[in-house]
Amino acid sequence: MSELLKLENVRAGYGDAVVLEDISFSLGEGDSLALLGRNGMGKTTLLSTLMGAARQHSGALRFAGEDLAIVPAHARAHRGLGWVPQERDIFPSLTVEENLSVVATAGHWNLQRVYEMFPRLKERRANMGNELSGGEQQMLAMGRALMLNPKLLLLDEPLEGLAPLIVQELLSIIRRLTEEGGMAVILVEQHARQILPLTRQALVLERGRAVYQGDSATLRNDRELLDSWLGVAAH
């Protein structure tokens, strides 16, 4: 697996404030990582650092062979970083199809493939962004990120606030995305037990520092580790 992303001793935060300390990990092409931790531990900040929305204070951040520190935030999506923020940020007054088409970039993912992955979006293609349910908005945000044909997809709490049936539907879609390869995925979640089976690697943050880095399978089978860092509620 050739290397796609490498962080070395990254320290990052907002303005002068430091949220993340000494974060190091690497991700190969097509690899997958569960980014876990309780509320406020720095998960979103790590994704924001990759996207250039948080400030990298020190350390090295390489993506696809390039030093990301010198790539401006607005150029990072076109370098191959696809971000699905927690807020979803879809365009409310565009239709589903327009939301998808407006960002289309040549590559494997096109309207047909996105509709095949998310049949609900095809059914709703003429609806406006603001006419969708929360689950459909999440699907649209994911579909839109795929239309950019990213090398790395960043999903920030995609299951949050959604009904159990939609959660199951999204979990099977995420499983396909991580298993079908090609694209690497970093998945931020509170619900460790649901997503650890979908990823190869896991990283647990505790107050901005990594307290576990390794196989998802090892973490999944270690109830003590799960309880101490994520609480019994790691479901």
Ligand X SMILES: Nc1ncnc2c1ncn2[C@@H]1O[C@H](COP(=O)(O)OP(=O)(O)OP(=O)(O)O)[C@@H](O)[C@H]1O
Binding mask 12-51 for ligand X (x = CB under 6 A): --x--x-x-----------------x-xxxxxxx------
Q: How far is the CB of 159 from ligand X (least distance, A)?
A: 12
Binding mask 69-108 for ligand X (x = CB under 6 A): ----------------------------------------
Q: Which residues lie below 8 Å from residue 83, measured CB to CB, with a gap of 6+?
A: 47, 51, 77, 145, 154, 156
Q: How far is the CB of 208 from ligand X (least distance, A)?
A: 7
Among 197, 229, 182, which Cα is nearest to 210's?
229
Q: How far is the CB of 187 from ligand X (least distance, A)?
A: 13
Complex with ligand X: residue 41 or 121, whichever CB lies closer: 41
Q: How far is the CB of 37 from ligand X (least distance, A)?
A: 5
Complex with ligand X: residue 42 or 158, whichever CB lies closer: 42
Q: What distance in Å separates the CA atoms of residue 141 and residue 85, rounded to the nearest whole number?
A: 8
Among 39, 14, 140, which Cα is nearest to 89's?
140
User: Would you call 218 helix, strand, or coil by DSSP?
Assistant: helix
CA atoms within 13 A on the CB side of 207: 0
Q: How far is the CB of 128 from ligand X (least distance, A)?
A: 28
Complex with ligand X: residue 177 or 230, whichever CB lies closer: 230
Residue keyed to tokens 């990759």? 50
Complex with ligand X: residue 37 or 59, whichever CB lies closer: 37
Q: What distance in Å separates the CA atoms of residue 32 and residue 25, rounded to the nearest whole number?
A: 12
Complex with ligand X: residue 17 or 233, whichever CB lies closer: 17
Complex with ligand X: residue 45 or 99, whichever CB lies closer: 45
Q: How far is the CB of 88 from ligand X (least distance, A)?
A: 14
The token pair at 35 is 């980014």
Binding mask 103-132 for ligand X (x = CB under 6 A): ------------------------------
The amino acid at residue 94 is: L
Total Cβ atoms within 10 A of residue 97: 17
Measured in whole angstroms, the distance separating CA 199 from the mean position of its chain's CA atoms is 12
Complex with ligand X: residue 81 or 114, whichever CB lies closer: 81
Residues of this chain that interact with ligand X (CB under 6 A) are 14, 17, 19, 37, 39-45
